[in-house]
Amino acid sequence: MNNVKFLTGGQLPFCKGCGHVAVAQNTEKALQKLDFNPLDVVLVTDIGCHGIVDKNFLTHNVHGLHGRSSALAAGISAGLSNPNKKVIVFTGDGGATIGMQHLVGGAHLGFDMTVVVHNNMLYGMTGGQPSEFTPCGFKTPTLPEGSTKSGYDICELMLAAGAAYVERVVGIGDFSDSLARAFSTKGFSLVEVMEICTSYGVKSNPGMKLPKLVEEAGWKVKVFTEAKQRLFQTPQNSNPTSLLSEKLEVEPKYSGAISKPVSIMLSGSAGEGVQLAAEFLARAAMLSGLYATKKGSYPVTVGVGYSAAEVIISHEPILYTGSPVPDILAITSADGLGYARTAAGRMKGGTIYIDQSLDIPQTGAETVVIPFREKVGAQNSSLYSVFYMVGSQHFFPMEALRDIFMANKISQRVSVDIFMQL
Ligand SMILES: Cc1ncc(C[n+]2csc(CCOP(=O)(O)OP(=O)(O)O)c2C)c(N)n1
Ligand code: SF4
């Protein structure tokens, strides 16, 4: 056993008497018993009161989405693939309810990790709603008449799913040996710590005693399995590729005429060719010996609403995408104006090309009003804005854009001539 600190010291961020305190302290003690150091441990926490403890831990910490901590931890464990590192998940009974499939999958596949379920039988952080772990008769602020059904027995579920080690403890006093047994198990282990939420559980169930409640709920306090399990192995890839090897390299044919990096934003509507126009712009820049990055932004409902793209062109390599303040902005629709208004407001100089159907936004940029939509139709308006800006800003020869356009199948449907006349 070492004496290394895993907790920063000072008060933990929980209400007085909250069961989460004991879990944090016993986790530290268990890790000391196993002679770990803080940086040997990756702690993945879930959303909920228990999760805010991560700022008190001196370990590597990752704060996950509600219910997804186990899935994140599985990925970390597989990617890390280091038997000297320990991946630990802290989740509540709420997170375990929402993310049950991740727990079942983790146990089934045998990911090398330990899940500590803080089961206070309700959703603490959001005010005491019942979870699927709330036992029959247990009252919560939003269920004052008490639950009429029994809660999940997570230990039995994990046992059936194939976990290597499963134990339930009542989270009072010293249960660090239980945690240490789980932490030292190779493969998937889970400890369910029965707890009380003093703010909502105790107030709704006055006089309740935790060990009695656990017993009456029929939940066994014991080690469920210590079976040896296989470890999840990531499939070996004999030909690993890097994202960088996908880099598009283009033999320059023209030369760019910019004196510094230029950030260009196109903002229009879904279905009006904004992303394609941005891609043409980036490719034409590359054909002119420049570096280019492109970032697309659109709502999850990709078929409606705005569609925007940010392209940066430069003589030097660019290690990022997007810029909060564009140098040049083309707005071709009302959706696009709605999206780009903030960026336009930030511009202290530069140029905004805007369709004549739209109001001019507040901006420090020069504004140029063009009938993009009227001249080439809504569908081609963004592409026209790119031809127009290249023709007037002279970043590189128009021929570069023409070549890129002609190499694309769109040139079989739409004549390039409509874009070439400014
Ligand atoms: C996907 C999702 N659903 C709902 C919420 C709202 N939410 C935040 S904390 C919480 C309850 C957490 O309860 P539990 O996991 O039991 O942890 P505790 O607060 O009791 O420690 C909920 C429902 C959320 N953040 N994300
Ligand atoms: S609300 Fe409940 S679960 Fe959250 S910190 Fe307070 S006692 Fe703990």
120 lines ligand 2 (CB under 6 A): yes
Q: Whose Cα sits closest to atom 26 in ligand 1?
A: 66
Is 97 exposed, middle or buried (CB count within 10 Å of its CB: 0-12, 13-18, 19+)? buried
Q: Is the CB of 18 under 6 A from ligand 2?
A: yes
* CA 18 to ligand 2 centroid distance, Å: 6
pLDDT digits (tens, 9 = 90+) for 280-295: 999 999 999 999 999 9
Q: Which CATH number fits domain 249-420: 3.30.565.10, 3.40.50.620, 1.20.1250.20, 3.40.920.10?
A: 3.40.920.10
Residue nearest to atom 6 of ligand 1 (CA): 126
Question: 310: closest CA among 302, 299, 322?
Answer: 322
- Ligand 2: which of 93, 125, 140 to mutate, judged by most atoms within 8 Å of the beta carbon? 125
Q: How far is the CA of 137 from the centre of ligand 1 (A)?
A: 22
Of the residues 23, 66, 194, which should be mutated to test ligand 1's pocket, given the most ligand atoms within 8 Å of the CB? 66
- Most informative mutation of 120, 122, 123, 129 for ligand 2 (most atoms within 8 A of CB): 120
Cβ of 200 closer than 6 Å to ligand 2, yes or no, is yes
**Residues ≥6 apart with Cβ < 8 Å to 124:** 18, 48, 49, 50, 92, 94, 197, 199, 200
Locate the ligand 1 atom nearest the alpha carbon of residue 123 and give its number.
Answer: 13
Do residues 74 and 100 lie in contact, with contact meaning Cβ atoms separated by under 8 Å?
no
Give me the amino acid identity at 402.
Answer: R
pLDDT along the chain (422 residues), means of 10: 93 94 98 97 97 96 96 94 93 98 96 97 96 97 96 96 96 98 96 96 93 95 85 74 69 94 98 97 97 94 91 95 96 98 97 98 97 96 97 96 96 92 68
> Strand, helix or coil at 286?
helix
**Ligand 1 center from residue 188 Cα (angstroms):** 24
Pick from 223, 232, 160: nearest CA to 191? 223
94: CA distance to ligand 1 center in Å? Answer: 6
| Span 152-200, pLDDT tens digits | 999 999 999 999 999 999 999 999 999 999 999 999 999 999 999 999 9
DSSP class of residue 316 equals: S
Buried b (16+ CB within 10 A) or exposed e, 198-218: bbbbbebbeeeebeebbeebe
Q: Using a 6 Å cutoff on CB, does residue 126 contact ligand 2? A: no
CB 321 within 8 A of CB 346: no
Give me ligand 2 centre to Cα 92, in Å.
11
Count of CB atoms situated within 10 Å of the CB of 53: 22
- CATH 3.50.50.60 holds for 20-225: no
Q: Specify the residue with its C-alpha closest to ligand 1, atom 11.
A: 123
Tell me whether residue 245 is exposed, middle or buried, using C-beta atoms within 10 angstroms of its C-beta: 0 to 12, 13 to 18, 19 or more.
exposed
Q: Pairing between strand 41-45 and 86-92?
A: parallel
**Whole-structure pTM over 0.75, yes or no?**
no
For residues 421 and 36, what is the distance between their CA atoms, to the nearest angstrom? 70
Domain positions in the chain are: 20-225, 249-420
Nearest bound ligand to CA 65?
Answer: 1
| pLDDT for residue 303 | 81
From 117, 198, 202, the mutation candidate for ligand 2 (largest count of ligand atoms within 8 A of CB) is: 198
Q: Do domains 20-225 and 249-420 have the same CATH topology?
A: no
Ligand 1 atom with the shortest distance to the CA of 96: 15
| Closest alpha carbon to 383 in 370, 367, 365 | 370
Task: From 72, 126, 129, give the residue whose CB has the most ligand 1 atoms within 8 Å, as the site to mutate.
Answer: 126
Ligand minimally distant from the alpha carbon of residue 50: 1
pLDDT tens per residue, range 391-402: 999 999 999 999
What's residue 249's pLDDT?
A: 75
SS3 of 106, please? helix
Q: Which atom of ligand 1 is nearest to the CA of 118?
A: 21
- Predicted local confidence at residue 102, as pLDDT: 98
- pLDDT in the model for residue 114: 98
Q: pLDDT value at position 245?
A: 66
Whether 23 and 171 have beta carbons less than 8 Å apart is answered as yes
User: So what's the pLDDT on residue 422?
Assistant: 63
Query: Which ligand 2 atom lies nearest to the CA of residue 118?
Result: 3
Cβ of 199 below 6 Å from ligand 2: yes
Closest residue to atom 25 of ligand 1, CA basis: 66
Q: Verify whether ligand 2 is closer than 6 Å to residue 140 (CB atom).
A: no
Q: What is the pLDDT of residue 122?
A: 97
State the DSSP code for 141.
Answer: T
Q: With residue 155 as reference, give the H or E element that holds it.
A: helix 154-161
User: How many angstroms separate the alpha carbon of residue 120 from the centre of ligand 2?
Assistant: 9
